[in-house]
């Protein structure tokens, strides 16, 4: 069963994403809303990882084939300035979209397996992932005009 | 009678459902008797959001006193200490009477032409260089409706910048946000008369005795009369309000959301809810119920450090009283999870079906006198007339009204809130900042940072005010403005009551009304509509009011029924019915609502598609949120939590009240208040001068042993530097506060700064 592969993928990407939110919180401390919201979202991602625990215990996880590629998407370092912030949020958006679709795929498997426990985890985590994406989009829409038109330097 | 000592005046007790007796309060200058007064000019007090109707006494072209209007529905003749002493006295003292311009680093007097030409020149230069988003406007909660609307049109389409806000962001942004989230639009549901009718009164983070003294006098008269309402107070300090409470809950700062979830859970669990109302008029009950489920009394007691028995007692009073009136203010609005917690107050009322009922409703309070108009007219960044920036048709409506291209009206993203405007100025992308009738160098958080921004070489700062302030000191151009009593205009109080304030006297020197200044700027800038006609077609206050009436037509805040003529004589008049939503129908229809709403935890906006999919169609939203611990926590290094607030004798940064001799004497200096236990542990006695420090700054003030709960200290926010020798910046509470804001309302979190205290 390849579900184990996907659970591994999910597990890694959730941790990567949590780490990336923390990086951005630290790197953009001068934007208090970015700092505090990224921290809140990172903490909630820890919660997702925790919820995945019992599922992984049941199905196992397979993490060998993917880490290379996931590592490539990993968040390296925050950038400076208004455009830098925009780009960092965009990277978070890409990472969050990745976990979003991974949850969807895992959810499909849960349907097939009629695994109610997993289905519950998926639906609560998908809501939270939607929240991440919605916030990132809101914040980027807010910053974009100023960063792209009026910002200097 | 000494109305400084007796803040609320003598009691006129009355029972439930009987009229609040009239009591006319009056104050005249020394040596002036009633027979000396040449004329009385109709107005209303602008020293808090209550908006008490009053008449200004005029003699020989000067204001010499004030008297409450007996017929006014807001105050039935009463005035409080600020109204009596602070409103009219300061008008000849220490005013700005000539424009100032910075030359070689110093502000020097100049004439209007030179000052305005400089402003216009800089404005046009920047528009050519980097477009409208180089401009920011930061206004007030103290101008008149006509001035805000004019400024709104200038900013929104004359310039076309999204960067407009008011200091209302610091005082009532959360009220507006909570009303929009729950009911689909701003607009106060309850009214003042509900105080006369209620069986229980809940004050959430609202020290009404200090913030709106006449409103509190109305409550005191109920408390002294038969069928006294039960009172529940949520406040970390034992305020006078808390002293008269049946239940006083003193949660740790930052834990309101947990407390409210606990109240909701208890009310739901005991079945004190209106199932039929919930089914017909609300959305989201199941989610609310499951969200509050974990908040058992014991769990909440642990988070908030309160007694679980008190929590249940409060829930019982809420759940079983026939008519409950709730008020909410800064203890919620300026604290952690501000909008979320304020929405939970709305939820308590919605699940009991108690909105818009006589004596049963909610007052999401305002702070400043004219804050409601900043919100209505769009001077705070929202679109005028409670229109929705994310609704294309609303934007087109405005464009038709103003006869401009819809594309010139910024609506591509949420309007920029004040804290973000300052950030853009700090980063250098806003380079033109026009500040009117407010004093950010004392009132914004983290003052050292604000001073640095105002001093920036590449930021052109225009400040328009009646007095020299800590902010005018740092301006490039200072424009002297007329004050209350020196100009005409209307304003709307916390319960939607509109008052006309007539001009009583001439402004001093060359000072001009804020309206005239904005009109002058618009004409010098040559703003045009699509046909090449002047964009702004009015020339005076009444013309502006009539234009605004058209703009508000068909919207929730419809002013078309009101005219200057109707507002003359008698009482102020509310827009809309006496109470909103009596029929359980809310302005949530997708094509009508002011906002599609937000996620309460992060502030992420709900998209139009998502909103429509919920089919709100007139139903209210029961928005739920879990409690999150605040980011700022007391710790080993900074073991106390500091909250800021007001003195009953002062308003805002004291520019007016500090110039009234009586008020000044009553509260001349700042102080830090702490509990007797904390003071004993630190070895402080009353009057010891101490240093209160946060990570951001410090103040040096005497200790007042008093009303705080353990672990919490309090600083009044009024005091700045204009009336003391400048020896460092160690007086203003906001030296200590933190640059952080609520994710939904964007209101700064003044109520929660970790500090340490030591003897100097
Ligand atoms: S309660 Fe407010 S409006 Fe009324 S007199 Fe006092 S300060 Fe003025």
CATH entry, A3-64+78-147, from 3.30.1360.120, 1.10.3720.10, 1.20.1260.10, 1.20.1090.10? 1.20.1260.10
State in words which class domain B100-171+370-552 has. alpha beta
Q: Which residues of B touch A85 (CB under 8 A)?
A: none
* C-alpha span between B183 and B282 (Å, rounded): 10
Atom nearest to B214 CA in ligand 1 = 1
Give the model's pLDDT for residue A72: 38
Give the model's pLDDT for residue A74: 66
pLDDT mean across residues, chain B:
96
The residue among B413, B744, B745 with the most chain A CBs within 10 A of its CB, best to mutate, is: B413
Query: Range with the lowest mean pLDDT among B119-128, B305-314, B394-403, B642-651?
Result: B642-651
β-pairing, B672-674 vs B698-705, is parallel
**pLDDT tens figures, B376-411:** 999 997 999 999 999 999 999 999 999 999 999 999
* C-alpha span between B716 and B707 (Å, rounded): 13
* C-alpha span between B477 and B103 (Å, rounded): 10
| B185 Cα to the center of ligand 1, angstroms | 27
The model's confidence at residue B93, banded by pLDDT at 50, 70 and 90, is confident
Q: Are B283 and B616 in contact (CB under 8 A)?
A: yes
**pLDDT tens figures, B459-503:** 999 999 999 999 999 999 999 999 999 999 999 999 999 999 999
Q: Is the pLDDT of residue A71 over 50?
A: no
Q: What is the rounded average pLDDT of the residues B606-623?
A: 97
Query: What are the residue ranges spanned by the domains of chain B?
Result: 26-92, 100-171+370-552, 173-365+599-619, 640-737
With an 8 Å Cβ cutoff, is A142 touching chain B?
yes
CATH entry, B26-92, from 3.30.200.210, 2.102.10.10, 3.40.50.300, 3.40.50.10440? 3.30.200.210
Q: What is the rounded average pLDDT of the residues B153-171?
A: 96
Closest by CA to B357, choosing from B328, B318, B322, is: B322
Token representation of residue B646:
């007001």
Q: What is the pTM of this model?
A: 0.97
Give the model's pLDDT for residue B726: 66
Token representation of residue A115:
């695994």
Any idea which residue has 């208890």 for tokens?
Answer: B266
With an 8 Å Cβ cutoff, is B291 touching chain A?
no
Rg, chain A, Cα only: 16
For residue A39, the chain B residue with the least C-alpha distance is B631
Number of neighbouring beta carbons within 10 Å of residue B96:
23
Any idea which residue has 């100032």 for tokens?
Answer: B100
The residue among A134, A141, A150 with the most chain B CBs within 10 A of its CB, best to mutate, is: A150
Q: Is the pLDDT of residue B1 over 90?
A: no
Is B605–A138 a contact, with Cβ atoms under 8 angstroms apart?
A: yes
Q: What is the rounded average pLDDT of the residues B307-325?
A: 98
Give the model's pLDDT for residue B246: 98
Q: Is the pLDDT of residue A66 over 80?
A: no
**Interface predicted TM-score of the whole assembly (ipTM), two decimals:** 0.93
Q: Which residues of B touch A47 (CB under 8 A)?
A: none
Number of neighbouring beta carbons within 10 Å of residue B323:
18
Q: Which residues of A touch B428 (CB under 8 A)?
A: 151-153
The model's confidence at residue B711, banded by pLDDT at 50, 70 and 90, is very high
The residue among A21, A29, A36, A42 with the most chain B CBs within 10 A of its CB, best to mutate, is: A36
Give the model's pLDDT for residue B525: 98
For residue A138, the chain B residue with the least C-alpha distance is B604
With an 8 Å Cβ cutoff, is B133 touching chain A?
yes
**pLDDT tens figures, A111-144:** 999 999 999 999 999 999 999 999 999 999 999 9
Q: Which residues of B touch A82 (CB under 8 A)?
A: 427, 429
Atom nearest to B51 CA in ligand 1 = 3
Is A145–B162 a contact, with Cβ atoms under 8 angstroms apart?
A: yes
For residue A38, the chain B residue with the least C-alpha distance is B602
β-pairing, B135-139 vs B164-166, is parallel
* C-alpha span between B409 and B391 (Å, rounded): 12
Give the model's pLDDT for residue A63: 67
The model's confidence at residue B414, banded by pLDDT at 50, 70 and 90, is confident
Give me the CATH topology for the region B173-365+599-619. Answer: Dimethylsulfoxide Reductase; domain 2 (3.40.228)
What CATH number labels B640-737? 2.40.40.20
Atom nearest to B369 CA in ligand 1 = 3
Q: Is the pLDDT of residue B197 over 80?
A: yes
Query: What are the residue ranges spanned by the domains of chain A?
Result: 3-64+78-147
Q: What is the rounded average pLDDT of the residues B288-303?
A: 98
């Amino acid at each position: 069963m390849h579900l184990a592969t996907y659970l591994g993928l999910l597990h890694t990407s959730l941790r990567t994403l949590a780490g990336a939110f923390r990086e951005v919180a630290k790197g953009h401390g001068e934007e208090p809303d970015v700092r505090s919201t990224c921290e809140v979202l990172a903490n909630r991602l820890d919660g997702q990882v925790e919820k995945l625990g019992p599922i992984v215990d049941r199905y196992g996880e397979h993490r060998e084939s993917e880490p290379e590629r996931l590592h490539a998407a990993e968040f390296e370092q925050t950038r400076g300035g208004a455009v830098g912030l925009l780009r960092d949020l965009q990277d978070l958006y890409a990472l969050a979209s990745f976990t979003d679709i991974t949850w969807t795929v895992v959810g499909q498997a849960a349907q097939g397996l009629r695994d109610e426990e997993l289905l519950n985890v998926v639906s609560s985590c998908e809501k939270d992932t939607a929240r991440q994406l919605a916030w990132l989009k809101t914040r980027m829409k807010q910053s974009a005009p100023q960063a792209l038109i009026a910002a200097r330097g | 009678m000494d109305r400084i000592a007796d803040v609320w005046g003598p009691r006129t007790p009355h029972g439930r459902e009987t009229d609040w007796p009239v009591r006319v309060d009056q104050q005249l200058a020394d040596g002036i008797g009633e027979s000396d007064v040449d004329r009385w000019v109709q107005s209303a007090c602008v020293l808090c959001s209550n908006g008490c109707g009053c008449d200004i006494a005029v003699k020989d072209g000067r204001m010499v006193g004030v008297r409450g209007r007996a017929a006014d529905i807001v105050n039935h003749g009463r005035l409080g200490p600020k109204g009596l002493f602070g409103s009219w006295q300061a008008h000849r003292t220490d005013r700005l009477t000539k424009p100032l311009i910075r030359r070689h680093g110093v502000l020097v007097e100049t004439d209007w032409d030179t000052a305005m030409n400089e402003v216009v020149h800089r404005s046009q230069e920047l528009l050519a260089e980097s477009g409208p988003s180089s401009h920011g406007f930061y206004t007030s909660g103290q101008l008149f409706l006509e001035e805000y609307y004019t400024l709104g049109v200038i900013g929104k389409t004359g310039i076309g910048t999204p960067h407009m806000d008011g200091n209302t962001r610091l005082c009532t942004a959360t009220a507006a946000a909570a009303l929009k989230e729950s009911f689909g639009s701003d607009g106060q549901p309850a009214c003042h008369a509900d105080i006369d009718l209620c069986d229980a009164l809940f004050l959430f983070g609202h020290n009404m005795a200090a913030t709106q003294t006449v409103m509190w006098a109305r409550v005191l008269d109920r408390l002294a009369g038969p069928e006294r309402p039960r009172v529940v107070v949520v406040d970390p300090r034992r305020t006078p309000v808390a002293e008269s409470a049946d239940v006083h809950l003193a949660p740790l700062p930052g834990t309101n959301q947990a407390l409210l979830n606990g109240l909701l859970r208890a009310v739901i669990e005991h079945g004190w809810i209106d199932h039929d109302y919930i089914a017909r008029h609300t959305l989201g009950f199941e989610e609310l119920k499951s969200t509050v489920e974990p908040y058992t009394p014991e769990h909440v007691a642990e988070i908030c450090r309160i007694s679980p028995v008190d929590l249940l007692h409060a829930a019982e009073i809420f759940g079983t009283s026939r008519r409950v009136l709730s008020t909410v203010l800064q203890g919620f609005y300026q604290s952690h999870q501000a909008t979320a917690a304020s929405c939970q107050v709305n939820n308590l009322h919605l699940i009991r079906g108690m909105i818009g009922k006589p004596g049963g409703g909610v007052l999401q309070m305002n702070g400043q006198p004219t804050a409601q108009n900043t919100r209505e007219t769009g001077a705070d960044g929202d679109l005028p007339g409670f229109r929705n920036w994310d609704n294309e048709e609303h934007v087109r409506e405005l464009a038709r009204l103003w006869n401009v291209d819809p594309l010139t009206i910024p609506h591509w993203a949420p309007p920029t809130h004040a804290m973000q405007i300052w950030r853009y100025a700090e980063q250098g992308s806003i380079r033109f900042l026009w500040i009117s009738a407010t004093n950010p160098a004392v009132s914004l958080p983290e003052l050292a940072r604000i001073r640095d921004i105002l001093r920036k070489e590449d930021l052109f700062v225009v400040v328009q005010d009646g007095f020299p302030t800590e902010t005018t000191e740092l301006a490039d151009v200072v424009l002297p403005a007329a004050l209350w009593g020196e100009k005409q205009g209307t304003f709307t109080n916390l319960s939607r009551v509109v008052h006309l304030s007539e001009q009583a006297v001439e402004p001093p020197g060359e000072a001009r009304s804020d309206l005239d200044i904005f009109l002058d700027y618009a004409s010098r800038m040559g703003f045009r509509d699509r046909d090449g006609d002047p964009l702004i077609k009015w020339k005076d206050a009444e013309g502006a009011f009539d234009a605004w009436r058209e703009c508000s037509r068909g919207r929730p805040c419809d002013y078309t029924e009101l005219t200057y003529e109707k507002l003359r004589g008698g009482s102020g008049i509310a827009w809309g019915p006496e109470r909103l939503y009596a029929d359980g129908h809310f302005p949530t229809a997708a094509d009508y609502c002011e906002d599609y709403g937000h996620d309460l935890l992060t502030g992420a906006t709900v998209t139009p598609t998502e909103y429509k999919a919920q089919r709100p169609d007139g139903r209210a939203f029961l928005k739920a949120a879990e409690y999150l611990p605040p980011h700022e926590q007391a710790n080993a290094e900074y073991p106390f939590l500091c909250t800021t607030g007001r003195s009953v004798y002062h308003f805002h940064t004291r520019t007016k009240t500090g110039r009234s001799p009586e008020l000044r004497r009553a509260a001349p200096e700042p102080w830090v208040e702490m509990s007797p236990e904390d003071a004993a542990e630190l070895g402080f006695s009353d009057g010891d001068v101490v240093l209160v420090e946060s990570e951001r700054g410090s103040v040096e003030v005497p200790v007042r042993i008093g009303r705080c709960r353990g672990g919490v200290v309090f600083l009044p926010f009024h005091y700045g530097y204009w009336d003391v020798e400048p020896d460092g910046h160690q007086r203003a509470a906001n030296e200590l506060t933190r640059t952080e804001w609520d994710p939904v309302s964007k209101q700064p979190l003044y109520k929660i700064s970790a500090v340490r205290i030591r003897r100097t």
